[in-house]
């Protein structure tokens, strides 16, 4: 006779973590879509004036070197660059949404997409850390490293399970 309690599921914890990663990727996608929409909203506008207004809003003096760099960057923004930025943002968001869907549904391909897309960013994050340690850079690096490591763990453990299941099926034949 079987116990009447809830069924034990060895993959329950794994699904929870994959869903947490999926939510993280979904919110990254939302953020990037908002940035793409902002880029489109600036098309045919004087970006330098918006940049100057933003500095004034945050009470940042335009005499500061960083403010001057920001204003110089804004002065070089063209409509073509804004359209390109929006296209890149929407393509990146589509990747994040696709990855989030696949992880939420526990698809093997999504585990690989999460692993590869996270691993590609690690060298860039290391380069940023070498330029100077900040809490933001350290946090981004640690979170990305944790996600990449976990995805590798999931991929390897699922591969092992599939091999064992195939071996058992072959043994029964």
- pLDDT number for residue 10: 64
| 10-residue averages of pLDDT along the chain (173 residues) | 55 89 95 97 94 93 92 94 97 96 94 95 95 94 94 90 81 73
| Domain residue limits at 122 | 107-173
Whether residue 118 lies inside any domain: the answer is yes
- The C-alpha angle with vertex 84 and arms to 32 and 73, in degrees rounded to 5, equals 85
Q: How many CB atoms lie within 10 A of CB 139?
A: 10
pLDDT, position 6? 54
Quote the pLDDT of residue 7.
56
**What is the pLDDT, as a whole number, of residue 52?**
94
| Number of domains observed in the structure of the chain | 1
Nearest to 51 by CA among 81, 76, 71, 80: 71
Per the domain annotation, does 9 fall within a domain? no
In a domain, 94, yes or no: no
Task: Output the pLDDT for position 125.
Answer: 95
Query: Which has the closest alpha carbon to 70: 82, 83, 61?
Result: 61
Among 159, 167, 161, CA closest to 108: 159
**How is 3-18 classified by DSSP, letter by letter?**
-SSPPP-TTHHHHHHH
**Within a domain: 159:** yes
Residue 131 resides in a domain: yes
């Amino acid at each position: 006779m079987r116990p009447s309690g809830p069924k034990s599921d060895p993959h329950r914890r794994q699904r929870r973590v994959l869903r947490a990663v999926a939510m993280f990727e979904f919110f990254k996608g939302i953020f990037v879509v908002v940035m793409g929409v902002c880029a489109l909203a600036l098309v045919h506008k004087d970006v330098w004036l918006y940049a100057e207004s933003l500095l004034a809003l945050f009470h940042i003096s335009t005499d500061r070197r960083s403010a001057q760099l920001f204003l110089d960057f804004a002065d070089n923004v063209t409509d073509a660059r804004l359209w390109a930025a929006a296209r890149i943002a929407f393509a990146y968001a589509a990747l994040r949404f696709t990855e989030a869907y696949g992880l939420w549904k526990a698809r093997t391909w999504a585990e690989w997409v999460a692993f590869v897309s996270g691993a590609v960013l690690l060298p860039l994050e290391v380069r940023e850390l070498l330029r100077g340690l900040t809490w933001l850079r350290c946090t981004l690096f640690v979170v990305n490293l944790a996600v990449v490591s976990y995805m590798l763990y999931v991929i390897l453990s699922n591969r092992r399970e599939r091999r064992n299941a195939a071996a058992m099926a072959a043994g029964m034949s």
